């Protein structure tokens, strides 16, 4: 398991399908926009819900519900 996926699992609490989809989507999006982890609100993610998917997006991009 890749280290960034391990971080997602650790943050979320368990491995599940929603987390994996969010992980893959976040990686693809970051590659598409040629960006990296956002340390200070340089990147904004708009999400439709607060599911497992969103936890992976938070870990991978640096976007959180609090930012």
Q: What single string gives the DSSP state of each residue in 15-47? A: --HHHHHHHHHHHHHHHHTT----SSSS-----
Structure tokens at 46: 């708009």
Does residue 66 lie within any of the structural domains? no
Say what the pLDDT of residue 12 is.
Answer: 94
Higher pLDDT, 38 or 63: 63
Does residue 67 lie within any of the structural domains? no
Say what the pLDDT of residue 48 is.
Answer: 80
Does residue 42 lie within any of the structural domains? yes
Domain ranges, residue 47: 3-61
Higher pLDDT, 11 or 62: 11
Closest CA to 20 of 40, 32, 12, 39: 12
- Contacts of residue 63, Cβ cutoff 8 Å, sequence gap at least 6: 38, 43, 44, 45, 57
Euclidean distance between CA atoms 55 and 45, whole angstroms = 12
Say what the pLDDT of residue 46 is.
Answer: 79
Say what the pLDDT of residue 36 is.
Answer: 77
* Total structural domains within the chain: 1
């Amino acid at each position: 398991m890749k280290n960034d996926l391990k971080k997602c699992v650790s943050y979320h609490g368990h491995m599940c399908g929603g987390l994996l989809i969010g992980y893959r989507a976040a990686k693809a999006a970051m590659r598409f926009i040629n960006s990296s982890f956002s340390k200070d609100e340089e990147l904004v993610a708009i999400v439709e819900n607060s599911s497992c998917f969103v936890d992976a997006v938070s870990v991978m991009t640096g976007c959180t519900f609090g930012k």
